[in-house]
Chains A and B, each alone.
Chain A
């Protein structure tokens, strides 16, 4: 996408004060930013393209939150009674949204004496944001990891208590929640709130050493879709028969492995690429590994971004199935190589865990 057009889109977003305007901008960028073919073969241009898309998403979401805040005032509910932080989780938290990502979010607000009233305010506020983002085409999260749910909309103290409960409980579900929170990134409001909650999270890991082991089970749950003979493991049945699930068979295993390594090393970054860089800078992975992991991850990211989208109920949705018949021999070889690296990342997690134990 040319830089001028990109800058224009961003300007338009910042200046928009109606939801409808934002939707028009989103529709424009969905269709305008399909990159040139060569973008995909160059790691640096994939990274750049990914950054562009995610900056546009970020701008859209933070502008929506502003509009929602204004709308609350307009409806007589007033401005936020205390400071808050709107957190993006999942791929948005990691700055890895595609053109068809759904909403995963949370909200932290400062403690206040009238806890119930404040909670009601923020639940209504979050609900408004979620509805508005749905209108912008972001599908709601099927797993209900969303700021308008009580579990994901709490005061600072409640969040810290909640984290402590998850750390001590360490059940499959609690560990899943902890891993989701690990990708949280503040998109609007006071980042101080998030930093304090994050500090408590880091303390939790130190105070509950078994948690890293429990996190491994969850982290390695999704297998890289490469068989023992080095063959692709494709879907056998259904409309997607013959395709490989790039999201759960390649992307998520890599994201999960790198997240676990980052958590163990106390790295606060949320994007997989910055986590990798930090891991390299801390000497946890070698330079060679860093470069090969980064390139492998970027190619998988490119495949995800290439997968495209469709609209359903006015929302942008996509799937992560890659039909092997649609890519040539050279790309297949490259994909296999990258999946092998994905497996290597998973082995690295186990090795580091053995060393840590």
Chain B
């Protein structure tokens, strides 16, 4: 009898283990585990976006630079991991000497091997997730370097950008810095990641000057077509998918399932951006331009990145639509200003990043601002300009800081070691001049003889 009772209890406990034994501590552990898994998955998705950048930059540029473009992206991601580990993370999130302008501590980050009591995930996974963001911002900056910067300049700029420039802005908004104190809303990084990267790209492209052949003597622009539009389209899909890690992952918790809503607004804005850009290019230019449409999808994604957790679905659509139109005119504007923007980083990440950040001040709802716990509702919901003003502050201060810091780093680099390859190297292509082999050996060796 006793044996039978024990057997029955044993079997029941296998069928209903939680009912039988779950304690609050184990429930917390389970929640921690799920949240960690979610952040880990988000990190993987954001890291995979580098694949998107490889294809985006390679597809939008010429064959002779393809191997270089692809290879240098992974090289700098690797270097960024080391630099962010050694310094960057400590500047962004170090807490030992916390102040409003720069974080300090946690250098050569050595996280606990598992989550500590009361932590919702282990620090290591948070580091990985934040590192992936820093690496994305860096890859955006490469848009301004494309097709003419020396390989060495990528390495030097990575050192400074990932150790100080990016982490300082991240600290201001996400690390408890002064803009966070003002209630700046930037859920997943329209300003921190995208605008910062784009401003660095702008400084780089101005210092480098346009690629050979981009502008004629009379100032009229030439179209330097990318060598593979299919790569470019595929890159946008990869980025689009990865963006769910970027935005939805920024909830860093499973919690009540809010991450799904964040993904939902993200999807709407991306679609709206693509449609709006396609339509505006059709209406104004007479042709439905594929590149513009692809830029529109990305612009929608960049713009919704700040506001994905703060706005209603209709507002997400409006934010995406405006981003799509904005990116079309922005590309024209930069051409008019004779600024060469090979990957459209200035328009897609810069202009749409600014718009997305400001959009919070207009469209954020009080309800969602309270839910997220940052800032307050925007102009439409509350009738108050307060949030919009804070958003303008974020854009201006982050923009000016990154511009000045990048200008100093790149300017000194240009003076000391040189920033741009020689004319001959640029014409031969960076594959050969920087690495000794072509990314497309068969095709390129044929054209070389011409």
Contact = CB atoms under 8 A, between A and B. Distances in A.
Q: Which of A225, A238, A241 has the most CB of B within 10 A?
A: A241
Contacts of B221: 236-237, 241
Interface in A65-99: none
Interface stretch (A17-25, A175-183, A195-203, A226-234): A226-234
Contacts of A241: 216, 220-221
A239 B216 contact: yes
A6 B284 CA distance: 45
Contacts of B220: 237-242
A225 B216 contact: no
A223 interface: yes
B226 to A, nearest CB: 14
Nearest to B218: A239
B216 A236 contact: no
Interface string B204-233: 000000000000101011110000000000
B283 A228 contact: yes
Contact of A233 (B216, B222, B285): B285
Contacts of A225: 286
B223 A238 contact: yes
Is the interface on chain B under 10, 10 to 19, 20 to 34, or 35 or more residues?
A: 10 to 19
Contacts of B286: 223, 225, 227, 233
Interface string B271-283: 0000000000011
A227 B284 contact: yes
A237 B223 CA distance: 6
Interface in B278-326: 282-286
A7 B336 CA distance: 50
Nearest to B332: A236
A228 B283 CA distance: 6
Interface string A200-231: 00000000000000000000000101011101
A229 B223 contact: no
Contact of A227 (B218, B222, B223, B285): B285
Interface in A233-252: 233, 236-242
Interface in B131-168: none
A229 B285 contact: no
Contacts of B284: 227, 229, 231, 233
12 contacts: A227-B285, A227-B286, A228-B282, A228-B283, A229-B283, A231-B284, A233-B286, A237-B220, A237-B223, A238-B220, A239-B220, A242-B220
Interface of B: 216, 218, 220-223, 282-286
Given A237-B223, A238-B220, A241-B221, 9 more contacts: A227-B284, A231-B284, A233-B285, A236-B221, A237-B220, A237-B221, A237-B222, A239-B216, A241-B216
Q: What 9 A-B pairs come out closest when comparing CB atoms?
A: A241-B220, A237-B223, A233-B286, A228-B283, A237-B222, A239-B216, A237-B221, A238-B222, A227-B286
